[in-house]
Amino acid sequence: MVGREHEPLRDIVIVGGGTAGWMTAALLSRLFINGYRIRLIESDAIGTIGVGEATIPAIRTFNQLAGIDEFKFLKATQGTYKLGIEFVDWRAKGSSYIHGFGKIGQDLMWLHPHQFWLHQAARGQAKHFDHYALNCVMARTAKFAPPDPRNPESPMADIDYAYHFDANLYARFLRGRSEKQGVERIEGRIVGVRQHPETGFVEGVTLEDGREVAGDIFVDCSGMRALLIGETLGVGYEDWRHWLPCDRALAVPCENAPTLLPYTRSTARDAGWQWRIPLQHRIGNGHVYSSAHAYDDTIADILLDNLDGAPLADPRPVRFVPGKRHRVWEKNVVAIGLASGFLEPLESTSIHLIQTAILRLIALFPHRGFDAADVAEYNRQSDFEFRDVRDFIIAHYKVTDREDTPFWAYVKHMDIPDSLAERLDLFRSSARFFVHGKAELFREESWVQVLIGQGLDMRHDPMVDMIPEGDIASFMHDIQDVIADCANALPSHADYIARNCRADGILV
């Protein structure tokens, strides 16, 4: 006879709305189709940060699982397409490169194109690395088209993309879908938490008006407050400011620019960096910085002096501590979004970490007994993922020629995690890449573009030297020419949006 501890959980309570809460509600209500009660508690009086407006390609998988039509979603969120991220002044002032999505060129035998580029670059015979990836050339020329699988041998088959969108509009869009799928939204501010006197499991939360909302499992999407995982259950936080010293941001929207660019831009500043995210109705901007290396009013001046158009609001401050919870699943509480940790949005991973946390919860959804093996596996995968993304972000700071300000001198010479040091050593040796785990987010193409762009001194794979130099030169010229021809034939980003997903009242 099956004991009660093996019975399914039925009552799911999501604490907090915003992007994390409504993404959780939208996907759970879409996939948990029989016998589950899903309620979300949020207060209109509590604002959301809402600065995460850029994504990476995996967001398309989430939208597909949630049954979301791409064009309807982009219209509802003032969305645009994203082919990658441009990094300006990161290696040195005046430098620029793009971390583009999708494939770089094509392989020759088992060797990847960056190996041949390194060979040619050492001889002064290679163009900027951006020329050898279609996504980068499309971004530079403000073109866009989705992948075309009809010719798998063409670079067109390997186009990959993500989105820029208004995060607040995205949450509103998901709320509408969630409520149609049966999610009950409860308006109210939580003032108390009731726990089981022996186990410490959360049994219910009390609202300001006296109502109590009970549940079997609670998803903490309460943002940096971490109401359940932190304040109630006391799970500690691992502070990574010694590697990632940026701990504040100012965010401000501004008027649009004449050209609608299909990429995010990150521009290095003296004590951090500035983002630029183009939407249909405005440009999202912000300056992430280290409070130990700059004053708030100075950062505001830098931000406002470097906008494409007039600001549409006053700069809004955000304070954070880069790092993660020691455990993101404790007892019957699972933390998703900012309640679980925060990594600066340099590589647009915030929404992705929400997405993978939801998918992980679905994959390991517990019985009423909350088996310790499920909880441990969830925490193990979450820990790996946070550290994996952390290392990739640290690499942008560590690998640089800059040391012209105290901030850049610090990050250039700081000690780094062993896991990153080992990876950089392998790249220096022969520009080789090996996957460290199944949950690793960034592929070889990402590491290669960033480390070449940042100026890491790398030697090519010795196997390249067995190929005649003339053949290498012809091979690289062919890649460059084919990619340029493909990009030239594509519509502009603005024209593609105007034809397919222009928001009402917006002239693109």
Which residues are part of the catalytic machinery? 82
> Which residues face 323 on adjacent strands?
239, 342
Closest to 456 (Cα-Cα) out of 419, 410, 479, 423? 423
Contact criterion met (CB below 8 Å) for 344 and 331: no
DSSP calls for 69-109: -HHHHHHHTT-EEE-EEEEESSSSTT-EEEEESS--S--BT
What span, in angstroms and rounded, lies between the C-alpha atoms of 379 and 264?
Answer: 31
Residue 410 main-chain phi, psi, to 5 deg: -65, -50
What span, in angstroms and rounded, lies between the C-alpha atoms of 18 and 23?
Answer: 8
What percentage of the chain's residues is helix, strand, coil (to nearest 5)?
40, 20, 40
Provide the greatest CA pair distance for the chain.
Answer: 79
What span, in angstroms and rounded, lies between the C-alpha atoms of 403 and 362?
Answer: 45
The 8-class DSSP code of residue 225 comes to G
Contacts for 422 with CB less than 8 Å, ≥ 6 apart: none
Alpha-carbon separation of residue 275 from 48, 123, 159 (angstroms): 19, 35, 24
Contact criterion met (CB below 8 Å) for 413 and 371: no
Alpha-carbon separation of residue 153 from 113, 144, 149, 436 (angstroms): 16, 19, 9, 29
Which tokens go with 31?
Answer: 């996939």
User: Which residue do the tokens 């022969």 mark?
Assistant: 430
Burial classification of residue 318, based on how many CB atoms lie within 10 Å of its CB (0-12 exposed, 13-18 middle, 19 or more buried): middle
Q: Which amino acid, one-letter code, is at 31?
A: L
Q: Which stretch of DSSP H or E encloses residue 334?
A: strand 333-335
User: Which residue do the tokens 């590491």 mark?
Assistant: 447
Residue 265 main-chain phi, psi, to 5 deg: -120, 135
